């Protein structure tokens, strides 16, 4: 080799090494870790559930778009055959890829998921399940989702019903969305999309960046987009102010994830790919948080095919979260998974070609080598480890959270109102639910929610006093207007009515018999069940 070329290559290698060595680390901020919330789409939704369960002592709210119940993969997560186990898990927990014919989530399956959760809590593998009684749970499923089908999200809500009061679980399945992050911060080629921002799909489209703009229902009119991040974060934290996309006080910055990545047992990874995570993550820090003010943390998990390796900054900048974080002292952590697959030279790498978060156990398989291609001399993790606090990805992300909160002090409670009447906010609605949030009243021991419709007098709903500052009213009629007030109970006496708010429920979503699109993540395109000799002939046409 030419000597000059050799020196040039050595210099380049040193420069690259130097850049890696000086990559930004996470800052230590004044964050109250007990105010943490999480969200995710698709595999990120499964990951958000896992984080919310494993760390329920700290996580107060979980937002789930197109996800399924905790430990959905069951014993198939590792049963001696990693590939077959993954296919079985996908068939049960996604149900939208005819290449892996759908399997129902049976009552027996769900009972096993619930009982395993309780057993792991008793064994200390996850936080006590009693914490789940205080969580707020926001669930979204678009009725044109051809990847994760409706029965999977239904099973998720049913799973949560074993631990979390139903009036703390909001389930929106009344929009014509496909499988996507629903954002009000990007443009789409329809008249309802706002100006500015990066492009995304119109609501019923699957593919591309898997980020869609959707007109809200039953609201109508140009520019009335559904804001998923705003609905979830206001359910968790109360009334928030949204900053316009072009006026944010900061920009998400890169940081090195490598110091937080460990193998099972605590050893350092030889490379981030060892656990299918990227070397770089992203962090949005509002200016007030940079200045040391008390802040809260939200962790946002991307879905399959949405990591920065695949999409660059698209999810980080257009998921719609930063706009709600900016003026409300919410730091947003965007951890990154990474596409990986074994090769002749790296046989021990996880099989994760689309950069999904680990919800079926690809990190729990035995580590293989060219001398031991079946992993016979290496032990796999106990079944389901990936979903517990010991899971290598769950543990890595939580180390990041703890680093960010290193200078944190418990946040002072929001000042209670001095008047006996609370302030009521209407947050969201579906075809059979509404969601309310209100401000605390000084000295209140609880709150009572009143509802009326038409000319009927207002009636107290919910039975016992509500001790949370939010309420999900369920079992409502579609396309019906409901009027609400809330009264604080102080010294055993109900105070005056709050301001009244009115919400109209949406039209009932079409059934699977009316529209049943399917999308193969393997093939990257819509497909029909009949093409794979399946029973039934669903349509790939989406519903309006």
Both structure tokens of 149? 């089908």
- Per the domain annotation, does 539 fall within a domain? no
Q: Are 410 and 486 in contact (CB under 8 A)?
A: no
Q: Are 466 and 428 in contact (CB under 8 A)?
A: no
Both structure tokens of 54? 């494993």
The predicted structure's pLDDT at residue 21: 43
Position of tokens 């730091």? 331
- Per the domain annotation, does 148 fall within a domain? yes
- Per the domain annotation, does 320 fall within a domain? yes
The predicted structure's pLDDT at residue 254: 97
What Rg do the C-alpha atoms of the chain give, in angstroms? 24
Sign of CA dihedral 100, 104, 110, 111: negative
* Rounded Cα gap, residues 300 and 412, in angstroms: 25
Q: Are 281 and 333 in contact (CB under 8 A)?
A: yes
Range of the domain at 475: 424-504
Both structure tokens of 348? 């021990």
* Rounded Cα gap, residues 126 and 215, in angstroms: 39
DSSP per-residue letters across 206-255: -STTSEEE-B-SS--STT-B--HHHHHHHHHH-S-PPPPGGG-S---EEE
The predicted structure's pLDDT at residue 298: 98
Distances (CA, A) of 439 to 216, 306, 323, 541: 25, 36, 22, 44
**223 and 285 inside one domain:** yes
**193 and 126 inside one domain:** yes
- Per the domain annotation, does 14 fall within a domain? no
Report the CATH number at residue 481: 2.60.40.10
Both structure tokens of 515? 């529209």
Distances (CA, A) of 265 to 54, 120, 351, 442: 18, 18, 21, 48
**456 and 367 inside one domain:** no
Sign of CA dihedral 119, 120, 123, 124: negative
**256 and 374 inside one domain:** yes
Cα angle, residue 413 at apex, residues 407 and 415 outer, rounded to 5°: 135
**330 and 472 inside one domain:** no
Both structure tokens of 217? 């229902």
Q: Are 230 and 184 in contact (CB under 8 A)?
A: yes
Distances (CA, A) of 261 to 130, 257, 335, 357, 437: 29, 7, 11, 14, 38
Q: Which residues of the chain have pLDDT under 70?
A: 1-23, 78-85, 188-198, 219-223, 345, 366-380, 528-540
Beta pairing partners, 40: 64, 301
**445 and 377 inside one domain:** no
Distance of CA 38 to the CA centre of its chain: 6
* Rounded Cα gap, residues 68 and 72, in angstroms: 7
Q: Are 174 and 98 in contact (CB under 8 A)?
A: no
Cα angle, residue 421 at apex, residues 419 and 425 outer, rounded to 5°: 120
Q: What are phi and psi of 325, to 5 degrees?
A: -80, -35
Q: Are 50 and 359 in contact (CB under 8 A)?
A: yes
- Per the domain annotation, does 292 fall within a domain? yes
**431 and 476 inside one domain:** yes
Position of tokens 């979830």? 232
Beta pairing partners, 257: none
**50 and 154 inside one domain:** yes
**478 and 364 inside one domain:** no
Both structure tokens of 249? 């006080």
Tell me how many domains the chain contains: 2
Q: pLDDT digit string (tens) for 357-380? A: 999 999 987 665 444 444 444 566
- Per the domain annotation, does 418 fall within a domain? no
- Per the domain annotation, does 79 fall within a domain? yes
**390 and 438 inside one domain:** no
**351 and 447 inside one domain:** no
């Amino acid at each position: 080799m030419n000597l000059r070329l050799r020196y040039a290559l050595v210099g380049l290698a040193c420069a690259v090494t130097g850049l890696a060595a000086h990559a930004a680390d996470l800052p230590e901020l004044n964050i109250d870790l007990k105010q943490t919330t999480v969200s995710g789409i698709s595999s990120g939704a499964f990951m958000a559930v896992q984080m919310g369960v494993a760390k329920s002592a700290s996580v107060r709210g979980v937002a789930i778009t197109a996800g399924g119940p905790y430990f959905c993969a069951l014993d198939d997560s590792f049963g001696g055959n990693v590939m077959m186990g993954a296919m079985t898990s996908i068939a049960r927990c996604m149900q939208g890829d005819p290449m892996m014919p759908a399997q129902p989530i049976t009552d027996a399956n769900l009972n096993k998921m619930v009982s395993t959760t309780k057993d792991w809590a008793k064994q200390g593998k996850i936080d006590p399940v009693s914490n789940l009684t205080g969580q707020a749970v926001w669930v979204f499923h678009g009725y044109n989702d051809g990847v994760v089908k409706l029965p999977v999200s239904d099973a998720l809500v049913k799973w949560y019903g074993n631990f979390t009061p139903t009036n703390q679980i909001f389930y929106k399945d009344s929009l014509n969305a496909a499988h996507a992050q629903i954002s009000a911060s990007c443009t789409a080629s329809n008249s309802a999309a706002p100006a500015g921002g990066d492009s995304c799909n119109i609501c019923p489209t699957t593919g591309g960046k898997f980020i869609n703009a959707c007109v809200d229902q039953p609201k109508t009119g140009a520019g009335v987009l559904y804001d998923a991040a705003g609905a979830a974060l206001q359910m968790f934290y109360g009334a928030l102010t949204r900053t316009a996309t072009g006026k944010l006080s900061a920009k998400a910055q890169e940081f090195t994830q490598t110091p937080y990545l460990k193998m099972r047992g605590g050893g350092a990874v030889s490379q981030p790919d060892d656990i299918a995570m990227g070397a770089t993550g992203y962090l949005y820090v509002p200016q007030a948080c940079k200045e040391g003010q008390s802040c809260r943390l939200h962790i946002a998990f991307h879905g399959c095919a949405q990591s920065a390796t695949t999409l660059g900054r698209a999810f980080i900048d257009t998921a719609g979260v930063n706009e709600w974080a900016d003026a409300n002292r919410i730091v947003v952590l965007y951890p990154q998974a990474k596409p990986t697959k074994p090769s002749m030279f790296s046989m021990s790498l996880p099989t994760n070609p689309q950069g999904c978060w680990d919800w079926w156990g690809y990190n729990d398989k035995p580590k293989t080598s060219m001398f031991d291609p079946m992993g016979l001399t290496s032990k796999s993790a106990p079944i389901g480890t990936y979903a517990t606090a010991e899971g290598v990805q769950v543990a890595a992300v939580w180390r990041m959270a703890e680093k960010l909160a290193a200078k944190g002090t418990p946040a002072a409670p929001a000042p209670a109102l001095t008047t006996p009447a609370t302030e009521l906010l209407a947050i969201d609605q579906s075809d059979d639910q509404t969601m309310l949030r209100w401000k605390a009243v000084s000295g209140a021991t609880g709150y009572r929610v009143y509802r009326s419709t038409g000319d009927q007098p207002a009636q107290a709903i919910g039975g016992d006093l509500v001790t949370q500052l939010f309420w999900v009213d369920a079992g409502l009629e579609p396309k019906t207007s409901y009027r609400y007030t809330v009264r604080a109970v102080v010294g055993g006496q109900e105070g005056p009515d709050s301001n009244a708010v009115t919400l109209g429920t949406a039209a009932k979503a079409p059934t699977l018999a009316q529209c049943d699109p399917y999308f193969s993540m393997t093939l990257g395109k819509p497909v029909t069940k009949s093409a794979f000799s399946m029973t039934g002939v669903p349509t790939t046409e989406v519903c309006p």
